[in-house]
Structure 1
Amino acid sequence: MPDPTDPLAAPALMARAQDAVGKHAALLEPLARLFADRGETLYMVGGSVRDAMLGRGVHDLDFTTSARPEVIQEILTEWGEKVWDTGIEFGTVSAIRHGETVEITTFRSDLYDGVTRNPEVTFGDTLEGDLVRRDFACNAMAIELSLNDELRLSPTFHDPVDGLADLVQQVLDTPQEPEVSFRDDPLRMLRAARFVSQLGFTVADRVFAAMRDMAPEIGRITAERVQAELDKLMLGARPWEGIDLLVATGLAEHILPEIPALQLETDEHMQHKDVYRHSLTVLRQATELEDEGPDLKLRWAALMHDIGKPATRAPKEGGGVTFHHHEVVGAKMARKRLKALKYPKHVITDVGQLVFLHMRFHGFGEGQWTDSAVRRYVTDAGELLPKLHKLVRADSTTRNAKKAARLQRTYDHLEERIADIAAKEDLARVRPDLDGNEIMQILGLKPGPEVGKAWKYLKELRLERGELDHDEAVAELKAWWEKEHA
């Protein structure tokens, strides 16, 4: 990121953007010529320019143009290898060439009804009119793909709403009054939190105030669109800061009410750690433990692992509080919230299970993990075990350095026990020592509920005692059957 106090910061950012265009010159120069031949102007715009300036790499090539949609389509048909016109009614046509995708949209000057976020699409005639309707000034800069006398690319920078200054200062502000921008499209308030997470920016004071005052407007947005923005926020570099902005402005009350509810009041008789701040810390520490890129399920579990605490909070005799079974309550709450946000079933199930299991480790003291407990821990976690390891470690946030070190050592010991037992047994597939066919043959049963009960008994026996040889398993099954039917 640039140093905001450096007077050369702005020129350096502009140079980065020019370089990014130059790197794509072989692709973009023929495109610029085709537009120029039609008497039309073409501008790289939005996140493409912003990300180029920030050195984040330009992965999406987005453009705006004076050309109307049918002209864009004709040009791209000549230039590209494949063309998509699914967005043509909104002025957008896309194409791919040499593995690069471009998306080009006619200047827009949309009108909003203030009820939905769907505008009445109106095409504009000026670049300035198009840029001023965008969400944030740092996303409202443009680079014109102009040509010199030799018809070579000669990019020209346009910044009518002073987005470059915001980029240098790392602040999010709106081109228009934020109240106007957010009334047009309330989703922009979530986008502010998303960019805080992705870019590490802060929001301007007037943007914060508008988000706070207009938070109920987010109710105009569908759950699917909210989920899409939350995903981008949660997968950003600093998701805890994006969440904190949602809570501070009151937006979270409308889309994630369980999170601000963690801001429990404390008094001299019921002291406890700040559950809300603790949850943000766990989210941060979980991201630091990721070893294969951002993990959406781990991050959601880290944020929501304690949401059952407000509902289970109770005074403890002698002072303090308890949160008995908050992981059980929290798992149900997490599943309910994610379902309301239209998340796919596998996300709902896995996040709920991680929340449910996150306290299992704390139920055992140092050195008290029996082989049976280890098997159950691994079996219940299943494929989520690597995520559970990270979640539990991230949850060790005590300020007591000795206690924190002891917790980490204890978990190290648990992982060693898992590895030791896994080396002897196939923990990934803990199954009864006898299968259903053998159970039916030994007990003279036909398929039915009794076979399932017998299978479940042998599964529990397997978890408790480890692998049994065949004769021992048969004897245990027969003994159980006789007791059941005594």
Structure 2
Amino acid sequence: MSRPVSSAQAAQNAVVELMRVSPIADDLATRFTQAGHRLYLVGGPVRDAMLGRMGNDLDFTTDARPEQIMKIVSGWADAIWDTGIAFGTVGATRQGTTCEITTFRADAYDRVSRNPEVQFGDSIEADLVRRDFTVNAMAIDLSTKRFIDPHDGMAALAERRLDTPATPQESFADDPLRMMRAARFVSQLGFTPAPRVVEALSSMSGEIARITPERIQTELSKLLCGTHPREGIALLVDSGLADHVLPELPAMRLEIDEHHQHKDVYEHSLVVLDQAIDLEDKDAEPDLVLRLAALLHDIGKPDTRRLIPGGGVSFHHHEVVGAKMVRKRLKALRYSKDITESVAKLVFLHLRFHGYGNGEWTDSAVRRYVTDAGEMLPRLHKLVRADCTTRNRRKANMLQRTYDGLEERIARIAAEEDLAKVRPDLDGNEIMRVLGLPPGPMVGKAWTFLKELRLDRGPLEYDDAVAALREWAAEQGLGMPSGDADEAGDADQVADAGGGEQAR
């Protein structure tokens, strides 16, 4: 591609815009100048200003040493923290803007871990060459408003090209996390990696093993929540990085799905991811749980693939296997328990709708669908709709109309019965009174029986619920009280009885 015709003017325009939206940077630079030091805005904020998406986080670099930085910002900043001071970074906030100020770096890496031997540098040029990508290796000298771009970051930005200041091999050997960051920038910014970057990713993908799961998870989450996650995922898989961080994903590549409408399950999953994103609330933040579930909903297919005599393939119970695999992988990546269980639940339930047919479910089955999904129901609606990737327009429309019908039934039953709060018709105290039971495990079992009955038959009259409970108790071999027993304990006693928590 050719270089932009007016890159110098574009850079100057960015400087002007930067000063307009961030007078704090100018103010801070004055303090550094008065102290005899230079201050440069650097990295992401410079890139983002040129992209018209600047936020409230500013990164600076300076020739001042950390202790000198602390003196300069004292009395100016609303708050200061020094958790990164061993690496030359001082953090500060001013009027809602977060500033990170780092002394010029000229680090050496041991290339066994990703920990640098911290060495301070003496020039902005030496600092910029050690940065991850050329689009992040641009700076603005805030005292002179001079734009500094020794590695043609402006041209790379204009061309949406992702390249490294040094060779990619040097950059990734110093810090393998930069390989994950490359895929993240493809997703977030829509960049295309330079051929030499792709080559280095492919040849060095195993180096990612030096990075902790927590750091990998952070980059993966940012990638998935980007504007172009499909392209970022494709780079992970094509380069071989996914083999080390999410191996279940490339394992789906050769599995033909049962609809025979896609090259493989992997391609189908990318389409589902795209379609799930299209169903997100555009005014809300990207939904990481939904996107993970969309990407991984068929993760169990490779392990359940069976060839059918005479042609075809089946994946029986892949949702059950998939939910287990999701838990294992997300735990390994150090995702929170809440995220892990939410994604696993969606994967486990994503096929349930296909038993609905043309509306043959009873109201009881609809209640169970809603109750089993719980707070994941809105996401489950989106995942099920996104999972329709058939190219047969008539079939696709029919599936969407059928799901419309299911949602209408859910709304009707919910309005009648308050499905969000489905509980037995008798609480724990009443169960103990009717059966003459003390607090204990049998109270919890009775409560569970009544909840199942409630799901099957809907709300019951009190006398009907008592009769059903007595019949169940007789089947369990429980002796009936001779008369109405006094209430046996309060709700707190029930809670101590194992299973009594539900009764509250």
The match for 2:291 is 299
The worse-fitting range, judged by mean Cα deviation, of 75-84 and 279-288 is 75-84
The match for 1:195 is 185
The match for 1:444 is 436
The match for 1:174 is 164
Paired residues, what number?
475
In the alignment, does 2:30 pair up with 1:38?
no
The match for 2:76 is 79
1:4 Cα deviation after fit: 7.4
Q: 1:393 aligns with which of 385, 389, 400?
A: 385
Q: Secondary structure at the match of 2:99?
A: strand
* Structure 1: runs of 5+ lacking an equivalent: 148-154
In the alignment, does 2:401 pair up with 1:409?
yes
Q: Return the alpha-carbon distance in structure 1 between the equivalents of residues 443 and 373 of structure 2.
A: 25
The match for 1:98 is 95
The worse-fitting range, judged by mean Cα deviation, of 442-451 and 378-387 is 442-451
- 1:76-132, CA deviations, whole angstroms, 9 ceiling, x for partnerless residues? 113222221221111111212222221110100000011010100000001010000
Q: 1:328 aligns with which of 320, 326, 343?
A: 320
Which AA in structure 2 matches 1:99?
A: G
The match for 2:16 is 18
Q: Secondary structure at the match of 1:473?
A: helix
Which AA in structure 2 matches 1:210?
A: A
Q: Return the alpha-carbon distance in structure 2 between the equivalents of residues 379 and 368 of structure 1.
A: 18
Q: Tell me, yes or no, if the aligned pair for 1:272 and 1:321 is still in contact at 8 Å.
A: no
Which AA in structure 2 matches 1:49?
A: V
Q: 1:310 aligns with which of 278, 302, 307?
A: 302
1:435 Cα deviation after fit: 1.2
Q: Return the alpha-carbon distance in structure 2 between the equivalents of residues 398 and 197 of structure 1.
A: 26
Alignment of 1:134-145 (within 5 A): 134-145=131-142
Q: Secondary structure at the match of 1:63?
A: strand
The match for 2:147 is 157
Kindly tell me: are residues 185 and 437 of structure 1, through their superposed partners in 2, closer, same or farther at Cα, counting changes over 3 Å?
same
Which AA in structure 2 matches 1:297?
A: V
1:318 Cα deviation after fit: 3.1
Kindly tell me: are residues 247 and 453 of structure 1, through their superposed partners in 2, closer, same or farther at Cα, counting changes over 3 Å?
same
TM-score norm. by structure 1 comes to 0.94
Q: Return the alpha-carbon distance in structure 1 between the equivalents of residues 430 and 255 of structure 2.
A: 58
Q: Return the alpha-carbon distance in structure 2 between the equivalents of residues 358 and 396 of structure 1.
A: 11
Q: Return the alpha-carbon distance in structure 2 between the equivalents of residues 80 and 433 of structure 1.
A: 60
Q: Secondary structure at the match of 1:44?
A: strand
Q: Return the alpha-carbon distance in structure 2 between the equivalents of residues 54 and 181 of structure 1.
A: 24
In the alignment, does 2:224 pair up with 1:227?
no
Q: Return the alpha-carbon distance in structure 1 between the equivalents of residues 94 and 163 of structure 2.
A: 35
Q: Return the alpha-carbon distance in structure 2 between the equivalents of residues 133 and 21 of structure 1.
A: 26
Which AA in structure 2 matches 1:39?
A: G
1:9 Cα deviation after fit: 5.8
Q: Secondary structure at the match of 1:101?
A: strand
Q: Secondary structure at the match of 1:353?
A: helix
- 1:36-85, CA deviations, whole angstroms, 9 ceiling, x for partnerless residues? 12221111000000011001123211100111111111111132222212
Alignment of 1:352-367 (within 5 A): 352-367=344-359
Q: Return the alpha-carbon distance in structure 2 between the equivalents of residues 19 and 453 of structure 1.
A: 67
The match for 1:368 is 360
Q: Tell me, yes or no, if the aligned pair for 2:19 and 2:26 is still in contact at 8 Å.
A: no
In the alignment, does 2:125 pair up with 1:133?
no
The match for 1:150 is none
Q: Return the alpha-carbon distance in structure 1 between the equivalents of residues 53 and 112 of structure 2.
A: 36
Q: Return the alpha-carbon distance in structure 2 between the equivalents of residues 271 and 391 of structure 1.
A: 20
1:280 Cα deviation after fit: 0.8
Which AA in structure 2 matches 1:38?
A: A
Q: 1:382 aligns with which of 365, 374, 391?
A: 374
1:256 Cα deviation after fit: 0.3
Q: Tell me, yes or no, if the aligned pair for 1:69 and 1:105 is still in contact at 8 Å.
A: yes
Identity over aligned residues, as a percent? 63
Kindly tell me: are residues 324 and 9 of structure 1, through their superposed partners in 2, closer, same or farther at Cα, counting changes over 3 Å?
farther
In the alignment, does 2:456 pair up with 1:464?
yes
The match for 1:262 is 252
Q: Tell me, yes or no, if the aligned pair for 1:270 and 1:321 is still in contact at 8 Å.
A: no
Q: Return the alpha-carbon distance in structure 1 between the equivalents of residues 21 and 444 of structure 2.
A: 64
The worse-fitting range, judged by mean Cα deviation, of 63-72 and 4-13 is 4-13
Which AA in structure 2 matches 1:448?
A: G
Q: Secondary structure at the match of 1:78?
A: coil
The match for 2:60 is 63
1:240 Cα deviation after fit: 1.6
Q: Return the alpha-carbon distance in structure 1 between the equivalents of residues 290 and 2 of structure 2.
A: 34
Kindly tell me: are residues 159 and 9 of structure 1, through their superposed partners in 2, closer, same or farther at Cα, counting changes over 3 Å?
closer
1:485 Cα deviation after fit: 2.7
TM-score norm. by structure 2 comes to 0.91
In the alignment, does 2:214 pair up with 1:216?
no
Kindly tell me: are residues 266 and 100 of structure 1, through their superposed partners in 2, closer, same or farther at Cα, counting changes over 3 Å?
closer
Q: Return the alpha-carbon distance in structure 2 between the equivalents of residues 9 and 410 of structure 1.
A: 54
Q: Return the alpha-carbon distance in structure 1 between the equivalents of residues 352 and 18 of structure 2.
A: 50
- 1:346-393, CA deviations, whole angstroms, 9 ceiling, x for partnerless residues? 111111001101111112201212101110011001111111111111
1:8 Cα deviation after fit: 3.6
Q: Say what the alpha-carbon RMSD is for the aligned residues.
A: 1.8
Kindly tell me: are residues 415 and 182 of structure 1, through their superposed partners in 2, closer, same or farther at Cα, counting changes over 3 Å?
same
Q: Tell me, yes or no, if the aligned pair for 1:4 and 1:168 is still in contact at 8 Å.
A: no
Kindly tell me: are residues 406 and 5 of structure 1, through their superposed partners in 2, closer, same or farther at Cα, counting changes over 3 Å?
farther
The match for 1:249 is 239
Q: 2:332 aligns with which of 333, 336, 340?
A: 340
Q: Return the alpha-carbon distance in structure 1 between the equivalents of residues 194 and 15 of structure 2.
A: 24
Q: Secondary structure at the match of 2:90?
A: strand
